[in-house]
Amino acid sequence: MVVSGRGELHLSILIETLRREGYEFQVEKPQVITKVVGGVTMEPVEIAIIDIPDQFLGIITAEMGARKGEMIDMHSEGNGNTRFEFKVPSKNLFGIRNDLLTNTKGTAIVNTVFLIMRRYLQ
């Protein structure tokens, strides 16, 4: 049986429930769920909204550039923080929270929202 879910919390609740009920199971590394539509493989794309202090602007742009993120918007909040919005394939977001929290000394706030399914790009 294959179980799919979205997010660490969603899956951790299911895993903990199964463990307590005595089931044996195996958890593999995460992978993106793709769809085939009309013979074309489609992948999910998300909007990543990142709030950070202004001193870490270069770190965010470099990290998201390496993950093939397309900047949609960037504006200053006026209180020393900047909000970025990137359009990025879901497969490139694996591990982003840990990397950003490490590189920004725990000050980054990352939110993601599903946007569209698009043709799978290598």
Which pLDDT tens digit goes with each residue over 47-76?
999 999 999 988 889 999 999 999 999 999
The class of domain 32-119 in CATH terms is alpha beta
Among the listed residues 30, 34, 45, 17, the one whose alpha carbon sits nearest the alpha carbon of residue 115: 45
What's the pLDDT score for residue 4? 76
Q: Residue 83's pLDDT is what? A: 94
Token representation of residue 84: 């970025």
User: Is 0.75 topped by the overall pTM?
Assistant: yes
Q: What angle do CA 60, 50, 73 make, to 5 degrees?
A: 85
The pLDDT assigned to 100 comes to 87
Contact of 108 with 100, CB cutoff 8 Å: yes
